[in-house]
Structure 1
Amino acid sequence: MPDPQYSPPRGLRRRSLLSAIALTGLTPAWATPAAAPAHLEALLTEVVKHHATLVHASYADSLALAQVLSQRIEALVAAPSASSLAAAREAWIRARQTYGQTEAYRFYGGPIDAEDGPEPRINAWPLDEAYIDSVAGRPGSGFINNPSITLDKATLTALNERQGEENIATGWHAIEFLLWGQDERDDGPGQRPPEDFIDGKAPHAARRRQALTVMMALLLDDLRSVLDAWAPGADNYRAAFERGGLESVRKIIIGVGTLSRGELAGERIEVALASRQQEDEHSCFSDTTHHDVVANAQGLLNVWQGRYQRADGSVLQGPGLQRVIERVDAKLAQRIDRQMRQSLRLAQAIPAPFDQQIRASNKAGRARLKALADSLSAQARDLARAAQGLGLQHLQKG
């Protein structure tokens, strides 16, 4: 087994939405979710059911685009070339942008990140490249270069996060690393050559192809499992969620609040601003972190508005979280709506590549990222106030 040195995971401690509420000093209008006023019950049911529809559609699109990526990877493995590698990279970027919008459905113990959920296999990050494959100065590192390790689903699953959270063996970023390689350039992504997948051109090329194939198969399995949990008309998580009323609204608020403040503003922007390290950007190998940020901000707005534009261009529209907050505090709802839209605009204005925006010398880039983090934090605080207005006091996972 590979035994890379363990180092503590980078990043700030995630701030729960509960801590944001503590800063508001507000008193809830009623004591517990069960005490929600009767005039909101029908609306809550409508909002929760529509939210479940958005979640299912989002994961269906994510799986469909991951299947396209799988086909491109199959083509790469069958005939490695510059063109087949470029096609696989293009498919990864497209699929990743759609998956990024689903992260607004995390952080409350749902099917994606329950204790036994697949999120650590799907999207774990940051990643120690040397745990997987050769890196600069360490040509024999990683499980790919260790023929004693069988490359199958069970083994890669067991290797994922073994002896450290950065020891990643599965998911989007492991696949990204194999497609692009290390990012050692200031002006672009990693430059892994197609020869790395060709027998006789690079050591363990066959194992590299096998690892990529297995990683992709595991990603599809895990995305299917989440999609099935949200499928309509089944005895599954969705069925219970749709009956949850205000408790399910609590979960929705936890998801958007935690992604806004703790994850996107904190882990993905503030950590990178503080460290100024290239590998503290989310999709560092492909240099597409700017896409990740936009996708997350779009996902937050999707949940708030109850609107999702599908991969085929069609639009799902219905009552979102905004509708509930409007009934409790119309002015607060307007402010959150403006803030959410502003956050998305600020995210869309981040130039690529992200790693150049966090450099100490790039004052304008750092200021842009700081403004985005501040906007995301502000909307999280207002979401906490909105939760208080609904009588929700326990805004923690679960």
Structure 2
Amino acid sequence: MKTTVVMAALAGLALSGAGLARAEAPEPVLETYSDIAAAAYADALATAGTLSGKIDALVEAPSDETLADARAAWIAARRPYQQTEVYRFGNALVDAWEGKVNAWPLDEGLIDYVDAGYGNESPENAFYTANVIANPTLKLGGRTIDASAITPALLAEELQEAGGIEANVATGYHAIEFLLWGQDVNGTGAGAGNRPATDFDPDNCTGGNCERRAAYLKAATDLLIDDLAEMAEAWTAGGAARADLAAKGPEGGLATILTGMGSLSYGELAGERIKLGLMLHDPEEEHDCFSDNTHMSHLDDVVGMRNVWLGTYSGFATGSVEGASLRDYVAEGDPALADEMTAKLDATLAAFEAMRARAETVEAYDQMIGEGNDEGNAVVQAGVDALVAQTRTIEKVVTALDLGAVAFEGSDSLDNPGVVFQ
């Protein structure tokens, strides 16, 4: 239900980009932006490596302890990755790659067994319950696929978006999440997925096909590491993503930064990831739906936007970054606008910290969006409102820098809500 909204130039600003006298060129801002990307993707790769080690330990000795360790490593690995999502939308290379690692929501019946309430078929997806873990031979789209060996190539080349259907997610963080937690069958009630460790134990197997389930988990993790290594390399000096950004020139580079901020803030996070699920009161629309980690993924998206505005990044594994910032560049010509943007980002962070606090002390995110939960709904809506408000100021920054028309992602949930219920 996404739309693309071209943000028109806003009237009434004190300064336009053409009239700004600056002592500094924007190139150092773009360098910091690239350095943050390099550090954050490197952190995502490093934490995925830690996750891989914990998954190896789980597969070698399945127990409640090794499963809990693997789950904790998955949650830790999400943090740096989510802070890179602000690099989407403006960077074509990132957008072309992103679906391999963070596509959602997924029809989990493609991968493994599901609860009876999931159903046996979907009119939109012929592969709804293909269950590759249980079936070493699959008939998909009139073809017979040899799935006797579960390998990264099988997942990436045969199963990911099988039949051209986006919900057939076979790779990335959420496929791994489903395998570690299993389905969350609690609706908007308390509780996350609760897969037992014995689902990976051939000697005490629950759920059937334990060796194949372990093989899928390891293959998906190996593939995630390969994919993250590709993007981490792309942002190093001389990498493809840096080269693409440089080729756009200074104004194009600034437009790229603001396109990512505006699109993530508005259509993606406020709209598709939050408002849509809130309108429908549907826990299937939450981002980390198996683990109940959604509040942290949303928070880190917000942190990622602040990172590129402030020119800072607090590293998780490979070090921090601090350099020339878009905030300071804007402040040279319009300090009031720079202060307004910073204040809006601060207000958004506060709204999502409140969501995090509620998730950690009162109820999970999927309960917050439940029908009839006025207090929880209000906390989530406050996050949406803050994101929309900060997007309006991002529009002002685009205009002040005289960058022309910049397209931000939209969402029917925000732009045409009546369509959502049709």
Q: Which residue of 2 aligns with 1:67?
A: 49
**Counterpart Cα distance in 2 of 1:25 and 1:367:** 32
RMSD: 2.3
1:345 aligns with 2:346: no
Q: Which residue of 2 aligns with 1:85?
A: 67
**Counterpart Cα distance in 2 of 1:124 and 1:215:** 13
Does 65-74 or 132-141 show the bigger shift?
132-141
Q: Which residue of 2 aligns with 1:156?
A: 155
In structure 2, relative to structure 1, the CA distance for the partners of 1:127 and 1:26 (3 Å cut) is farther
Q: 1:388 aligns with which of 387, 399, 412?
A: 399
**Counterpart Cα distance in 2 of 1:374 and 1:397:** 17
Matches within 5 A, 1:1-398: 12-16=1-5, 18=6, 21-22=7-8, 24=10, 39-40=21-22, 42-113=24-95, 117-137=96-116, 141-148=130-137, 149=147, 150-158=149-157, 159-163=159-163, 164-185=165-186, 186-200=189-203, 201-202=205-206, 203-232=208-237, 234=238, 236-242=240-246, 244-312=249-317, 315-350=320-355, 351-352=358-359, 353-396=364-407
Give 1:27 deviation, angstroms: 9.0
For this pair of structures, how many residues does the alignment match?
376
In structure 2, relative to structure 1, the CA distance for the partners of 1:26 and 1:38 (3 Å cut) is closer
TM-score normalised to the size of structure 1?
Answer: 0.89
The residue type equivalent to 2:377 in the other structure is: R
Task: Give a deviation string over 1:50-71, Cα, whole Å, max 9, x none.
Answer: 1111111111111101100011
Give 1:217 deviation, angstroms: 0.8
Give 1:111 deviation, angstroms: 2.9
**Counterpart Cα distance in 1 of 2:14 and 2:331:** 16
The residue type equivalent to 1:88 in the other structure is: A
Task: Give a deviation string over 1:239-297, Cα, whole Å, max 9, x none.
Answer: 44246311111100000111100111001110110111111100010001011111111
Give 1:110 deviation, angstroms: 3.7
In structure 2, relative to structure 1, the CA distance for the partners of 1:22 and 1:397 (3 Å cut) is closer
Structure 2: where are the runs of 5+ without partners? 121-128, 138-146, 410-422
SS of alignment partner, residue 84 of structure 2:
helix
SS of alignment partner, residue 396 of structure 1:
strand
The residue type equivalent to 1:152 in the other structure is: T
In structure 2, relative to structure 1, the CA distance for the partners of 1:142 and 1:37 (3 Å cut) is farther
Identity, in percent, stands at 37
The residue type equivalent to 2:115 in the other structure is: A
SS of alignment partner, residue 313 of structure 2:
strand
The residue type equivalent to 1:155 in the other structure is: L
SS of alignment partner, residue 236 of structure 2:
coil
**Counterpart Cα distance in 2 of 1:214 and 1:179:** 14
- Structure with greater proportional strand content: 2
The residue type equivalent to 2:242 in the other structure is: R
Give 1:184 deviation, angstroms: 1.5
Give 1:92 deviation, angstroms: 0.2
Give 1:161 deviation, angstroms: 1.4
In structure 2, relative to structure 1, the CA distance for the partners of 1:154 and 1:314 (3 Å cut) is closer
Task: Give a deviation string over 1:100-133, Cα, whole Å, max 9, x none.
Answer: 11111111134321xxx32111000011111111
In structure 2, relative to structure 1, the CA distance for the partners of 1:392 and 1:28 (3 Å cut) is farther
SS of alignment partner, residue 133 of structure 2:
helix
